[in-house]
Amino acid sequence: MKAVKIIVKGLVQGVGFRYTTKMLADELKIKGKVVNMPDGSVYIEAQSTDEASLEQFIAGVESSPSPAGRVDEMEVSEMKPKEYSRFSVIYR
């Protein structure tokens, strides 16, 4: 199991970014969460037993799963896997 946390900056709030990220995660069988942050960024935790799917997910997020969105900056770092049963959109 490989897990990453991703911080995405750009035009990523108010454009359906979280929902299209969830659609991409569900398609690739990625588990984790996505949440809007107060600073305008989006925070993602993603994990999978299939590293190729996880890399495909990261690439999809970087190119913005939302047609109206735009990723200007993205930080990806490894993290310890958590007990996720699905991929969730978190509301704040």
Write out the catalytic residue numbers: 18, 36
Strand partners, 32: 46, 87
Tokens of 55: 């890399």
Angle formed by the axes of helices 51-62 and 17-28, nearest 10°: 160
Strand order in the sheet with 31-36: 70-79, 2-11, 42-48, 31-36, 87-90
Strand partners, 87: 32
